[in-house]
Chain A
Amino acid sequence: MTQILFHNINKKDLHTLAVYEKEGGYKGLKKAFAKEPDEIVEMVKASGLRGRGGAGFPTGLKWSFLAKDVFPRYLCCNADESEPGTCKDRELLQKNPHLLIEGMILCSYACKIETVYIYLRGEFYDLCEIMETALEEAYAKGYLGKNILGSGLNLDIHTHLGAGAYICGEESALLNSLEGGRGEPRMKPPFPAVQGLYAQPTVINNVETLCVVPYIVNNGAEKHAAIGTEKSKGTKLVSVSGHVKKPGNYEVVLGTPIREIIYDLAGGIRDDNKLKAFIPGGSSVPMLPADKVDTPYDYESLQAAGTMLGSGALIVMDHTVNVVEISLRLASFYMHESCGKCTPCREGTRWMWQILQQIQTGKGEASYVDKLLDICDNISFKCFCPLGDAAVAPVISGIENFRADYDELIEKMAANTAV
């Protein structure tokens, strides 16, 4: 299987500059510097690379949106990785920090950026230290700092730790947090490419996205575009968790059937139980029932199946699970993580949680399920940022696909009270 990011991930001491260089690291810089910055942007466009942070926005296109001739510009690497189920960026940061640094240098060259901030979630203190060490090495070797390898590019990369808030993964909340504020999302427009960090043009990319860039620069856009499907190019790191025998991060070519990921890579369902449901792209995307397990893992197929690829977290549930329990846990998560800025999200997530809790603890009534759906409808697409939409995804899809789980709990209760 083609691997772009993980082919050498378990190489001993890959996190050191020496090993990374021996593996061919930082070769992309010279290649890139021989080209005009715009050519790199075009290359990334042609490669078909889409953002791996969740939204799947074409990366090259994003770079080309930067406000013309406005400087300074910034790059923020989104290393907030907080989407439940997702743990791929952590592995990259931990085992291959130089790959990310190289990706950030290439992006900076392409976009004429001189300052980069890596926004790491506050809980990644250990990774921050690894990153700092790698940055020091890169500075010492002249890959960072002034006039890098004689290219004229000056570049500083800094780490910046968050402090515990899922919403700071949302790009505009991330900017507010990086500016020393509460992690509340910003109004768009203006988009970050026009007015981002410190109101300057800013690129925000996920760790994984940036880590793919060296491959594209080294091997050419065509090589990358040849991998994957018609509309989903390249590979994707998939964090497989839940009821599988071998949970872990796997790099798969986009378009690989989910069945293959669950049963071949992750070893199948634990205790050889029956697959009941899976969430293909992190807690914010709708879950699918077992009969969708042959869906190819790519952006368009998942969309056609009524869900999304999201951040690439495949959460697998076997038949022992009651979906209400899962939905309640996720509702509690979104209630806890809502920034509170907008009404439907702040009030709605709590109300959903209250109702789900009633159902889960056997105090639910038959009308609750429809009420839940209606509340979800009142939240969907009416919030300030996508967190609200994310919050309703597991609930709506849970009810649509597994209404029996709800009915079972409610009926059990009704039966109990009747006695």
Chain B
Amino acid sequence: MFVFSEEDEKQIEKILNRYPEEQKRSALLPLLTLVQRREKHVSADAMRDIGRRLDLSPAYVQSVCSFYTMYSATPVGKYLILFCINISCQLNGCDELLAHTAKKLNIEIGGTTEDMKFTLHREECLAACSGAPMMRINDTFYENLTSDRIDQILGSLD
């Protein structure tokens, strides 16, 4: 069973306050984000719970959830690495660096390390093009990457 923590409840109240009373479904993305960040995925139970709160059918919640790439149905690792592969990064050699990272972590692109520490995803442009090549690990942007820098960054995360 999925339950929101007390702290979450406070957060939820704050979120709901941002939208007009009769438009509480606007809180759907924020609530899904809350769950994704805490649980590292959004489970069916959580969708049901959110649907109940916002008066939305669970199917609707799932429909919205599956539209956005930042929500995942299965848990991602503690560190989610989003590696930009779009044009500016491509021009700056991101493909090799991505392959390097995958090799370093010993996983396929899209995969998660066995210890659930790292998940590595290809990502579309993250709006850091002048700092290409770049990646985002959880909420932090890392720009102007080189293979050495990547090794150093990965090494610094515990």
Interface residues of A (CB under 8 A from B): 81-87, 89-90, 117, 121-126, 158, 160-166, 177-183, 198, 239-243, 247-249, 279, 283, 313, 315, 317, 321, 325-326, 329-330, 333, 336-337, 339
Contact = CB atoms under 8 A, between A and B. Distances in A.
Interface of B: 18, 20, 23, 25-30, 32-33, 36, 54, 56, 63-64, 67-71, 82, 85-88, 90-92, 124-132, 136, 139-141
B26 to A, nearest CB: 5
B29 A163 contact: yes
A96 B139 CA distance: 19
A65 to B, nearest CB: 23
A336 B129 CA distance: 19
A180 B25 contact: yes
B30 A90 contact: no
Residue picked from A87, A178, A243, most chain B C-beta under 10 Å: A87
A180 B54 contact: yes
A315 B64 contact: no
Contact of A183 (B56, B67, B87): B67
Contacts of A339: 67
Given A179-B23, A179-B26, A164 B127 contact: no
B91 A243 contact: yes
Given A179-B26, A180-B54, A86 B70 contact: no
Contacts of B91: 241-243, 315, 317, 321, 326
12 contacts: A81-B127, A86-B127, A86-B129, A87-B128, A160-B26, A164-B69, A325-B90, A326-B87, A326-B90, A329-B85, A333-B86, A337-B124
Contacts of B54: 180
Contact of A161 (B30, B85, B127): B30
A85 B128 CA distance: 8
A264 B32 CA distance: 46
B131 A178 contact: no
Contacts of A321: 91
A337 B132 CA distance: 21
B21 to A, nearest CB: 11
Given A84-B129, A158-B18, A164 B86 contact: no
A177 B136 CA distance: 23
Contact of B70 (A164, A317, A325, A330): A164
A283 B85 CA distance: 13
A161 B33 contact: yes
Nearest to B91: A242
Contacts of B141: 126
A164 B130 contact: no
Contacts of B71: 163-164
